[in-house]
Amino acid sequence: MKIIIVGCGKVGYSLAEQLSAENYDITVIDKNPERIAPVTNDFDVLGLVGDGVSNSCLLEAGVADTDLLIAVTGSDEKNLLCCLIAKKSGKCNTIARVRNPEYSREAEFLKKEFGLAMVINPEMIAAVEMARIFRFPSAIKIDALAKGYLEMLHFRITEKCSLVDKQVSFVRSYVSPDVLVCMIKRKGAIIVPTGDDSFMNGDIVTIVAAPKGAGNFFKKIGLPINRVKNALIVGGGKISFYLAKLLIQSGIQVKIVELSKERCEELSDRLPQASLICGDATDQTVFLEEGLNGVDGAAILTNIDEENVFLSLFAKKHSDAKIITKVNRVIFNEVIDDLDLDSLVYPKLLTADYILQYVRTMKASIGSSMESLYTLEDSKLNRAEALQYLITAQSAVVGVPLSELRTKKDVLICCIFRKGKIMIPGGQDSIEIGDTVIVVQNNQHINAITDILEDR
């Protein structure tokens, strides 16, 4: 499959990294040669210095026989125009990054009128994930599956947790039969567990459960379940705006600390229910007295990663609030993951996941369609993912008891969603046409649902 990426910023770089790793034919375009160089040096991609809204530039890049064009420049208007020209010149599928809140409200209109395969907003995606986390403070990360009927929750085992030194089988036998443990991260290693594996203090565990079932699960193992009632947001950027709006809609009181007076006034007009504090959150007095004291949750969302990390560490030391930290640069994620932080959100990785899901769906075989893709771990040693499939036709996985399916190593069928009901499957259950199936895998390459099977 041939793919053109227009724009070599952080998102373009992340896309080139992930897509080239899966052996797609990638060409990147950017007007700045200094942005092209790192991408072409680090990955097996072609680089073209030029303007993505130029028809001649797109033709030179091979748009005539391209399958997908992804426009992720810093300008919404350029991204939309680039996709429109590409559709006229090459009739390829197109994806545009659109970040402006005014445009985002008209995403479906833009998608239809411009003939786009996808309109993607990294800031909105990140804000939605953060809002979910504030609903379950014990969770590090929450992914909504099966149209919201199911959730994948990631949490850390602490000394207060009753699961320490217990076997995985203990969860279904004594805690909740409606919860499945599908992954354990321990000291950088990923375990797709069996019932005989045991939990250890410090493990990061991933479970699949219905929203109500997750609440009961956390309560039984001794972790707090009360959602955040009031939240502090540091920084007044686009993610802050989207997050504040989501939290206010769900009844959570919001306070925003922003350095720019002009931006404070703008946010005050657009978010009249939020409290705005014009000040420097890196000033400890401002951070503690005006913001951090008395809140249940805090989202640190400035544009500087180092500032976000240090503010989060400071907040964790001086408060019991749930802390969410935004990180833009993915290259240091392994170092940052080792720090004692609550929840980390990488908007660029989230964006790449959404686009990678679409690319794999294009490539998937008949019989299933990939509905969602979630990166659980992305390091030099591990590439763990949760994949959601809709089963649309007969295939080698349909109608066969799971105990008889020869699945690849480190692949787990963790849930089946059938006719509005959630099934945590056993060996005698089988996949049927119409099911939504959730699969967790580590270090495998899976497009279609049949790719979970061992090669015969």
Q: Give the model confidence (pLDDT) of 314-349 as tens digits.
A: 998 888 899 999 988 766 666 676 677 888 898 888
Domain with CATH 3.40.50.720 in the chain: 2-120, 230-345
Q: How confident is the prediction for the chain on average, in pLDDT?
A: 88
In this prediction, residue 365 carries a pLDDT of 55
Look-up: residue for tokens 């763990």?
Answer: 384
Q: Lowest-confidence range among 24-28, 63-67, 237-241, 357-361?
A: 357-361
Mean pLDDT (whole number) for 223-244: 91
Q: How many helices (H) and strands (E) does the chain have?
A: 15, 22
In this prediction, residue 48 carries a pLDDT of 95
- Is the pLDDT at 153 greater than 60? The verdict is yes
- Choose among 267, 329, 319: nearest CA to 298: 319
What's the whole-model pTM score?
A: 0.84
> Under CATH, which architecture does the 363-452 domain have?
2-Layer Sandwich (3.30)
How far separated are the first and last CA of the chain, in Å rounded?
26
Distances in Å between the alpha carbon of 320 and those of 138, 183, 294, 327? 12, 27, 10, 21
Determine what percent of the chain falls in helix, strand and coil, rounding each to the nearest 5: 35, 30, 35
The string of pLDDT tens digits covering residues 194-204 is 889 999 998 99
In this prediction, residue 337 carries a pLDDT of 67
In this prediction, residue 225 carries a pLDDT of 76
The string of pLDDT tens digits covering residues 352-406 is 888 887 887 776 555 678 888 888 877 767 788 888 999 988 989 999 999 999 9
Classify the C-alpha dihedral 91-93-97-100 as positive or negative.
positive
Q: Name the percent of the chain lying above pLDDT 90.
A: 48
Between 255 and 11, whose confidence is greater?
255
In this prediction, residue 311 carries a pLDDT of 92
CA distance 320 to 317: 8
Strands 46-49 and 253-258: unpaired
Domain with CATH 3.30.70.1450 in the chain: 363-452
The CATH code belonging to domain 2-120 is 3.40.50.720
Look-up: residue for tokens 């499945």?
Answer: 180
Are residues 322 and 228 in contact, defined by beta-carbon separation less than 8 angstroms? yes
The CATH code belonging to domain 230-345 is 3.40.50.720
Conformation bin of residue 382: beta by default, left when phi > 0, alpha when psi is -120 to 50: beta
Strands 189-191 and 180-186: antiparallel
Instruction: Give the DSSP per-residue string, 250-275.
Output: TT-EEEEEES-HHHHHHHHHH-TTSE
Strands 421-423 and 383-391: unpaired
In this prediction, residue 331 carries a pLDDT of 61
